[in-house]
Structure formats: C-alpha cells, structure tokens
A and B are shown apart, each in its own frame.
Chain A
C-alpha cells in the first residue's frame, strides 16, 4: 500500500529542454492517445527518474507495510483471522515483489532499491512509521489504510507506464480482499463487547492523524507537478484523493457508532468537499525524514532480514545465471 503525496517534491523540469524535441513530441502524443509506454520505448530522463522514484517508494511501502500488521500475525484471534492475516501480510510482500519488478524494467535493480531503502536514501509511506499497539490497530490498518491505498492505486493504475499498470491491476484485485477482510474484522469489534468497541475507538484515535497525512501535503503547499500530470505519472492530487477517501469511509466509520477525533470534520454540502482541521505538515515532514516513533525499528528489521538472508542468496547464486532487466 502506498499513499503518495511526498513523492514529487522539488522536481526540476530543466532537463526537458535538453530532450530531443521530435521524440518528446512522439512520446507525449502516445500518452495523449491513451497508449501506454513500454520499457523499450524512448522516454524523457525526467519521466524515467520520477517513475523509478514513485514505483520504488510504492514497493518499499509494501514491504515495510507488512511490518505493522505483522506485529499481530502470531496473535490473531481464532483460525479465520489467523489464516487471513497471514495471507494478507503475504500479499503485501507479494505487492513489493511485483512493484520492484516493474521498477526494474526502468533500469534500477531490486538490490539497489533495497540498499537505498535500508540506508534511508529512499522513502516509503509515512504511516508505517507508527506502531500497532493492539489487535484493533491491525484491523484499522487492514481496513482503512488499505482503503486509502486503494484510492491511490486505482488512480495510478490509469497511469501511462505499462509495467506499473500491469502490476497495479494485479494488486488492486488482491486489495479487494484486504478491504473486505479489514472491514469484517472491524464489524466484529464494533458489534462485539464494550471492550472490543473501546479497542477500536482507541485505534481510530491513534491512527486518524497519520491517516490524514497518508495522502501527502495539501495541494496548497505541495510541489507543482503539471508535467507529471500531463505524462500521467501523477494521476490525482493529494487533496482529491483525501477527499475521495473521506467521502467513502467516514460515513462507514460513523455508521458503526465510532467517533473521529476531529471536531471540524464535516462534509460541506455546497462544495461537496470535506472540511477538516488542517493536518500538522511539520510533523509529517519530521516523520518522513526519520523522526517518527518506528522509523528506526522498521529499517532495522529490514536490515536484519537482509543480513540474515545473505548466505542464502549467496549460496543460490550461480555463475551461469546473470541478472537481466525484466522484459515487461
């Protein structure tokens, strides 16, 4: 899962002037016609760079995203939840696999990407830097963080880069299971004992702030991305996605009798847009730059996993196989 938002900060468009104008025109015409770009097509350097950045961040978000929910994998209550959570977290790892492959077609290897993740050079979705204190937190993630990711992924699936779209088609099909599973878990908590209801209310109180951060800084303060919109790299504005999410899920949370910790949250019937207390974007920046409650742990876990697996990968390596850029 992935929220977007921060990805495009500070892009420099100067390099476009250096591109071959004829090829650039062909490239833009192809996107304009609605045809996808495939790996062997010519593409502007900026397009390649921003796509790698975006798909890579998305991939990292999937494998780091497996960790907060993984916190409860050995403690899921009952057979149904136990098996489903295992399958759900596994899917997130699988999404990482698919997305790394899509990014690889642009010329960056999976191993380089994982190195950049662990060294802190690449980012991932901010929300996974928060801890999952109780079982109810894992339910919040499965339902609502995944719901947010789906809003983003459905938009991106209409983008211009073929391999990314193909990966997202597969991913979105699996996400429908995550969403239903998560909602199912929450319905059981909501309709259960007072203790269960309290657990979920507390989870909402903890997760609402990162959830509002999830789609990235408001359009007023985020970087201008016209060229990326034209190239169908960025498909929807942060505020539009946030609004869409609120529209779809706030009523569902309210219907279960839970409250959302923002007194100003309401839908403006005239504009059709949601109004809310402006999220603290300074905190968002602080957390994404490493100062969140779980940043260290998340990267450390990933680092240990990579180090522990090293002898396995070394043993697998054979002289006759050679890394090749995937085809599609």
Chain B
C-alpha cells in the first residue's frame, strides 16, 4: 500500500486485500461494567463497558478507556453477568414498587452494592451496601433502606465480592492526571496571538 502515512507504508502484508475472515463469535470477549468515583466522598457512577477476558484485564483496560481525562480518584469493574437488574419504570412509577418484600430470610448473608437510576438517560449511581442471601433479597433490603420520596427508575445490585476494586496501593494511579494539561481545552488559548494578528491587520 502506498500511503501518505508513513506508518501505513510500514504495515506488513497480511492476507489478501479486501478479504476478511469473519470475527464472530471467535473474537467476542466478555463485557464488564465500569464504575468511576470522581472525587473522594462522592459516589461511584456507572460510566460504560469494556470488552475483556477477565475482571483483572477489564480493570487495566477500563483505566485508560474511562479515566484518562477527567480527574477521578477510584474505579472498579464487574462482569456484566453479575449485575442484577430490577424492572425499568417510567414517569412517576417507582421501580421499588415492583420489588416484593423478602419472604424468607437467609442465614448466610453477603454484601451487595446497590445503584439507582434517578433519571432516564443518566447514569446509575451507587447508593450504598446491604447484606443479603440472594440478589432478590438484596433488592428487598435496598427497598427498606434506600427507598425515599425520589422516583427510582431502575435498581442494580452487585455482589461486593464480584467487584474488582482499586486497591489502596493503586490509588496513586490518578495522581498525575490533573497535570496532564495537554488533554485540556484550557491549555489551548490562542487569544493573544489572534488578537495581535487582528490588530496588525485591521490597522
């Protein structure tokens, strides 16, 4: 290939031009949900997904995919399959009203993280932790603890042990982020140069 891009000119010959071997389903990795904490003391918020083979790789890949630009202090990921999802409601109907009270109380409880969707089109935001024996029970517990006068359109519950958290030592992964000004619009003030140019030309 003869290109204007020297990088393209260095590409090796691979296969035949225009011929592809279909990728599906060979290449299809898992999906992992990514949550980011923008500031100390602020709740984690859902930001999107990455494709990855396991939760550890998902963490590594999510870090630059989702937190390379805006300051943040922590990030975690979990397998999409490990998120339990309530029914979705609209207008004034509250998703918690569709959750039935827990009938049986388990003796073996583990902790679950609970997330609310307060506005359609916005992100699911972490509200707290409950102890429960099953995802259903976690939703019912959440109803007791977190239901208030705000309409919640959708609830997620994730077993805490299914989450790959940022470890304490990894906290400084984001330390230098505020200094990477070149990723910031404010670093590109051309105003003075422009003003000087205009003055020269309009004179």
Contacts and interface: CB of A to CB of B under 8 A. Distances in A.
Bind each other: yes
Query: Most chain-A CB neighbours within 10 Å: which of B29, B47, B198?
Result: B29
A297 B8 CA distance: 9
Contacts of B57: 316
Nearest to B33: A327
Contacts of B49: 101, 104, 326-327
A71 B197 CA distance: 30
Contacts of B189: 180, 184
B79 interface: yes
B24 interface: yes
B203 interface: no
A35 B119 CA distance: 8
Interface residues of B, number: 70
A323 B29 contact: yes
Contacts of B48: 98, 101, 166-167, 170, 326, 328
Query: Most chain-A CB neighbours within 10 Å: which of B12, B25, B189?
Result: B25
B4 A131 contact: yes
B33 A326 contact: yes
A321 B88 contact: no
A33 B7 contact: no
A97 B47 CA distance: 12
Interface in A304-328: 304, 306-308, 310, 313-314, 316-318, 320-328
Nearest to A191: B197
Given A177-B184, A191-B197, A308-B12, A297 B51 contact: no
Given A87-B183, A326-B33, A326-B80, A70 B7 contact: yes
Main DSSP-derived SS at the A contact region: helix
Interface in B89-134: 90-91, 120-124
A317 B121 contact: no
Contact of A115 (B18, B23, B79, B122): B23
Nearest to B3: A297
A97 B49 CA distance: 9
Contact of B185 (A41, A97, A179, A256): A179
A306 B27 CA distance: 10
Interface residues of A, number: 82
B63 to A, nearest CB: 12
Given A180-B188, A184-B188, A317 B29 contact: yes
Contacts of A97: 50, 65
Given A321-B30, A326-B80, A301 B11 contact: yes
Contact of B53 (A118, A318, A325): A318
Given A70-B5, A97-B65, A109-B24, A321 B190 contact: no
B123 A35 contact: no
A313 B29 contact: yes
B1 A190 contact: no
A63 interface: no
Contact of A191 (B8, B83, B154, B193): B193
B29 A36 contact: no
Across chains A and B, which 4 residue pairs bring their CB atoms closest together, nearest first?
A: A36-B121, A321-B30, A187-B190, A184-B188
Given A84-B183, A132-B4, A327-B156, 6 more contacts: A111-B23, A306-B20, A317-B53, A322-B30, A323-B30, A325-B31
Interface of B: 1, 3-8, 11-12, 14-15, 17-18, 20-31, 33, 46-54, 57, 65, 68-70, 79-81, 83, 85, 88, 90-91, 120-124, 154, 156, 182-190, 193-194, 196-198, 201
